[in-house]
Structure 1
Amino acid sequence: MKENYLTQENLEAFIQAAFKEDVGEGDHSTLAAIPRGQTGRAQLLIKEDGIIAGLELAVKIFHSFDRDLEVELLMEDGQQVKAGDVGLTVAGSAASILTTERLVLNCMQRMSGIATKTHEFTQLISHTKAKLLDTRKTTPNFRMLEKWAVAIGGGVNHRFALYDMVMLKDNHIDFAGGIKAAVESTQHYLSEKLLQLKIEVETRNLQEVEEALAVGGVDIIMLDNMDYPTMKKAVKMIGSKAITEASGGITEATLKDVAECGVDFISVGALTHHVKSMDISLKAY
């Protein structure tokens, strides 16, 4: 089942904006060098081990530019791959293959890097109930694909943007005058606007956890930058009254220990803002 942000309309809008950026008035290198009507074949060569992501998108990119290109997928998104594997083949207009090559690779390299890192992190906490969450720490205008890659890698998408959930973080709380004031103001706003959005509150210590529980109507309590003993106490305090989410500088080295504190979710910004792209190329054959 596709995530709700992955609509045909959204994907096509991204592809067209990307072509406008990269192709503009025309791919003059290809138009100048390649004879009209020249055909060719190319294969997507995987050059390092990991989790492949973006194959479905690649088909859409090829066909958005040239419906007559023949694309054959040789594996599926989310599949474990190794160096030397071939992800897909494409045949047809040589000019179309050349013009679409970089967009396909840019998307797939980054998506596969994110999916690979997400898969590695999820394996580290697979013995616990905790699920891995992404964040809004994404590349502008590329968020849809980065979150898609997290899902392909086995992670869970947090809110997509500012409009689909309320998250009251430390600055919201401080500016509003405390957790009680921030939550009550939010509840009034949502009622007035006839909005049904979940409310998440960031807490920095056990006192703030108590405040979030006392005000009522909080769906998710974020435990931010807490040490392990404090986090375990917070989880016990909250019980089933709210969903718990650990956050704040969590790394590969600390992820397992955080998960073993009993939280429901762990949000890791590094999944999308600090990741190495997978080495993939498109080669004529």
Structure 2
Amino acid sequence: MTTVDPGTIPQHALDRVIATALEEDAPWGDVTSETLLPADAVATATLAAREPGVLSGGGVFVAVMHAVDPAITAEVHAADGERFAAGDTLVTVSGPARSVLRAERVALNLVQRLSGIATLTARYVEATAGTRARIADTRKTTPGLRTLERYAVRCGGGRNHRTSLSDAVMAKDNHLAVLLASGVGIGDAIRSARERLGHTVHLEVEVDRIDQIEPVVAAGVDTIMLDNFSPDELVAGIAVVAGRALVEASGGVSLDTVAAIAATGVDVISVGALTHSARALDLGLDVAVTA
């Protein structure tokens, strides 16, 4: 269902997450399976949906299985970004039972987390359909999982904000407070930054009052973030910007408010809840073991 090509997860990032998770979950092996299960037992397992949603992480699920044991075979029945119904089979795996059960929890944790993010993102995207607004994530991600969680946002039809502090200049309220305390005007700071930055570096500034908009835009920003503005204030702020910069709305965004925010004509709506408040989707692994 995604209208945004989610692309792929960089292999090095995926390998790092999986290796860390598996080491955490079974640092010296799976004592239970190795003690109780016959070494030659074979398991066939299905990743099944207990509730409807949007899939993200089907390939991640398979990658965890293969990281534990390359002998495990897998068949993916749904693509990332695809909607599914309760009861649908999403992935089938088969291989040594000990290996399947060792990989089970890590594989489930990741696909449930990512599918929860994709599903929540899709709801925000649907709520703003027909407007110009893009739904974007923020840096409010789980430490160590940002690359995967941002992929999940794309699976749900959302867009990514800057990946890290290294990607763009983004002056927020605390930066402005330091400038004010140092006696430096925001307009002067922006113009000075422009002189030092490369021409490809994006520059964004957050404001929380309408009277701050004109000096910021006049100094030459690429994007201005209007933080915690009401819909009426957003309309007024967009009029002041007058097309000289992209307008991003942030703060106080929920499924109850996002449609009204989008209707004001903003270009971007950033939503921290996509990653910091998404509920893990209820997916289960049904296992059949044969000796």
Q: TM-score, normalised by structure 2?
A: 0.92
- What residue is the counterpart of 2:163 in the other structure? 160
* Paired residue type of 1:207: D
Q: For 1:130-172, what per-residue CA distance to the aligned partner results, in whole angstroms no more than 9, with x for missing partners? A: 0100001111111111111110000001111111111100110
Q: For 1:3-52, what per-residue CA distance to the aligned partner results, in whole angstroms no more than 9, with x for missing partners? A: 58x31111111111111111112111111111112211110010001111
- 1:212 matched to 2:216? The reply is yes
- 1:173 matched to 2:176? The reply is yes
- What residue is the counterpart of 1:269 in the other structure? 272
* Paired residue type of 1:23: A
Task: Decide whether the 8 Å contact of 2:135 with 2:269 is kept in 1.
Answer: yes
* Paired residue type of 1:210: E
Q: For 1:193-220, what per-residue CA distance to the aligned partner results, in whole angstroms no more than 9, with x for missing partners? A: xx8421110011222110111112x111
Q: Displacement of 1:237 after TM fit?
A: 2.1
* Paired residue type of 2:189: A
* Paired residue type of 2:190: V
Task: Tell me which of 93, 98, 110 is aligned to 2:96.
Answer: 93
In the alignment, structure 2 segments of 5+ residues that lack a partner are none
Q: Displacement of 1:189 after TM fit?
A: 4.5
Q: Displacement of 1:236 after TM fit?
A: 2.0
- 1:197 matched to 2:172? The reply is no
Task: Decide whether the 8 Å contact of 1:173 with 1:182 is kept in 2.
Answer: no
List 4+ stretches of structure 1 deviating above 4 A.
Answer: 1-4
Task: Tell me which of 126, 129, 132 is aligned to 1:126.
Answer: 129
CA 1:185–1:31 in structure 2 vs 1: closer, same or farther (change >3 Å)? farther
Separation of aligned partners in 2, 1:32 and 1:190:
60
Task: Tell me which of 167, 176, 189 is aligned to 1:182.
Answer: 189
Aligned ranges 1:6-17 → 2 under 5 Å: 6-17=9-20
Q: For 1:238-258, what per-residue CA distance to the aligned partner results, in whole angstroms no more than 9, with x for missing partners? A: 233111100012111110110
Task: Decide whether the 8 Å contact of 1:54 with 1:149 is kept in 2.
Answer: yes
CA 1:205–1:115 in structure 2 vs 1: closer, same or farther (change >3 Å)? same
How many residue pairs were aligned? 280
Separation of aligned partners in 2, 1:183 and 1:31:
61
Task: Decide whether the 8 Å contact of 1:179 with 1:208 is kept in 2.
Answer: no
How big is the alpha-carbon RMSD for the aligned residues of Structure 1 and Structure 2?
1.5
* Paired residue type of 2:218: A
Task: Decide whether the 8 Å contact of 1:168 with 1:182 is kept in 2.
Answer: no
* Paired residue type of 1:190: L
In the alignment, structure 1 segments of 5+ residues that lack a partner are none
SS at match of 1:140: coil
Q: TM-score, normalised by structure 1?
A: 0.94
Task: Decide whether the 8 Å contact of 1:40 with 1:92 is kept in 2.
Answer: yes
Separation of aligned partners in 1, 2:279 and 2:10:
27
Q: Displacement of 1:185 after TM fit?
A: 4.2
* Paired residue type of 1:214: A
Separation of aligned partners in 2, 1:256 and 1:277:
24
* Paired residue type of 1:233: A
SS at match of 2:236: helix
* Paired residue type of 1:262: G
Separation of aligned partners in 1, 2:141 and 2:96:
34
* Paired residue type of 1:77: D
SS at match of 1:126: coil
Percent identical among aligned pairs is 39
Task: Decide whether the 8 Å contact of 2:58 with 2:111 is kept in 1.
Answer: yes
Task: Decide whether the 8 Å contact of 2:6 with 2:155 is kept in 1.
Answer: no
Separation of aligned partners in 1, 2:230 and 2:18:
43
- 1:250 matched to 2:253? The reply is yes
Task: Decide whether the 8 Å contact of 2:247 with 2:267 is kept in 1.
Answer: yes
